[in-house]
Chains A and B, each alone.
Chain A
C-alpha cells in the first residue's frame, strides 16, 4: 500500500509546476480580457480574431450554419459580429480557441478530453442561461463555465502518477473527482484552477468562481460562483455523457435558493443546454 502522504500537493508545488505549463495563445487572453474591458470595440476584437485564419473559418461556418438561419451569408468576422452580436461571436471564438489550445497539451490516452470539453461547454451554456435569472453577466458566466474544470487538466499533464492515484480512489470509494482529490492530494481541481487562472491573469471574479464551484457547504457564495456551482450540478444531472461513474455533486442550498427556479424555468433551461450543446459540438467539430 502506498503511503497516502506520497501524493500530497501543497499550493507552492502546484504554483511551481504550473509555471512549466505552456502559456495560452494571445488571442485567448485578448478575448478573455475584453469581457471586462469597456474600452475595447467590436472592430478591435474583430481585427484580432481575423489574424487567426483557422478561427475565422470556424466562426464563419458556425455563423452561416442552419442553427442561426441567416437570410444572407456572412463573409467576415465583423459581419458576423454585426449580425449575431459580439457576445455570441466571442463565446464561439473562446470555445474554439480554448479547445485547440488545451487539447494539444494533453495526452489523449490518459484523459478523455472530448468528454471533459463537452461537460465544459454544457456548463458554459447552462451558466449563461442561469446568469440572466441570477443577475450575473451572461458572458462572464459562459466563460466561467468553459474554464471551471481547467484545474483538472493540470494533474494529467504535471503529475500523471497523482492522477492515477485519484482515479483509483474515486473508483474504490465511488465519489466525485473533487472529493477524491481532496482525500488524496489535500487539494482539488477547483483550487488548482484558481492558481492556474490567476497565473493567466484572468479577471479575479472568474478565478474566484472557478475556485469555489465545489463549495457545497458555504452559507453564501459570490454571484458568479453561485451560477457556476449550480450550472455544474445541473449538467451532471442531465447526464450528457452517460458514463457509469457520473454523479451529481452535493448542491449548495444557498445557491439553489438564489436561483429560485420555477418549474417552467428549469424545463426551458434543460432544453436550452441540450440543444445548444448539440449545435456547438457539431459546428465546432467536437
Chain B
C-alpha cells in the first residue's frame, strides 16, 4: 500500500476522513472498503471491535478514482435505506469496483 498514507491513532481520526485501506474482519472479509468516509458511529464500532489505529487518505488523494467511486455509490444508495441489505450490497459493489480498478 501507498506509504504516503497517514496511520493515525483512532482517537485522532475525524468523522469524514476517508479510509486509505479497507478494514477487514479477522476472516479477511472487507467490513469497510477503502474510500469509505468514516462517521462517528463507524469509529465507535471500530473502537469497540478493538481497532486502535486507521490509515486515512491525504487531501491530495481525495480527488482519486477511489473517492469518486465512493461518492458515486453514496449517491446511488441515497434512498436505499440504512438496513443490512443495502449496506451489504453497497460494500460488495464497492469492493468489486476497487478490485476491477486494481486489475
Could you list which residues of chain A lie within 8 angstroms of chain B, going by C-beta atoms?
Answer: 174-176, 233-234, 236-239, 246-253, 255-256, 261, 263, 266-267, 270-271
Q: What's the dominant secondary structure at chain B's contact region?
A: helix
A-B contact count (CB 8 A): 69
Most chain A CB atoms below 10 A, which of B76, B78, B95:
B76
Residue contact B79 to A251, C-beta cutoff 8 Å: no
Of the candidates B76, B85, B99, the one whose C-beta lies within 8 Å of that of A251 is B85
- Cα A263 to Cα B72 in complex, Å, equals 21
Residue contact B84 to A253, C-beta cutoff 8 Å: yes
B86 within 8 A of A: yes
Nearest chain A residue, comparing its CB with the CB of B88: A256
Question: Shortest distance in angstroms between B29's beta carbon and chain A's nearest beta carbon?
Answer: 6
Chain A residues within an 8 Å CB radius of B99: 267
B89 within 8 A of A: yes
Residue contact A253 to B92, C-beta cutoff 8 Å: no
Most chain B CB atoms below 10 A, which of A250, A256, A263, A271:
A263
Residue contact A237 to B89, C-beta cutoff 8 Å: yes
Q: List 24 A-B contacts (CB under 8 A).
A: A174-B78, A174-B79, A237-B76, A237-B77, A237-B89, A237-B90, A238-B93, A248-B86, A248-B90, A250-B81, A250-B83, A250-B86, A251-B83, A251-B85, A252-B85, A253-B84, A253-B85, A256-B84, A256-B88, A256-B89, A263-B95, A266-B92, A266-B96, A267-B99
Question: Shortest distance in angstroms between B18's beta carbon and chain A's nearest beta carbon?
Answer: 20
- Cα A65 to Cα B69 in complex, Å, equals 33
B80 within 8 A of A: yes
- Cα A267 to Cα B30 in complex, Å, equals 12
Residue contact B80 to A267, C-beta cutoff 8 Å: no
Residue contact A247 to B86, C-beta cutoff 8 Å: no
- Interface size of B by Cβ–Cβ distance < 8 Å? 23
- Cα A234 to Cα B88 in complex, Å, equals 11
- Cα A258 to Cα B51 in complex, Å, equals 32
Nearest chain B residue, comparing its CB with the CB of A238: B93
Enumerate the 7 nearest inter-chain pairs by beta-carbon distance, A residue then B residue, closest first: A256-B85, A251-B85, A266-B92, A248-B80, A270-B96, A250-B81, A237-B93
Question: Shortest distance in angstroms between A212's beta carbon and chain B's nearest beta carbon?
Answer: 17
Question: Shortest distance in angstroms between B8's beta carbon and chain A's nearest beta carbon?
Answer: 28
Residue contact B80 to A251, C-beta cutoff 8 Å: yes
Residue contact B80 to A249, C-beta cutoff 8 Å: yes
List 4 extra interface pairs beyond A175-B79, A237-B89, CB under 8 A. Answer: A248-B76, A250-B83, A251-B81, A256-B84
Residue contact B96 to A247, C-beta cutoff 8 Å: no
Of the candidates A250, A255, A263, the one whose C-beta lies within 8 Å of that of B92 is A263
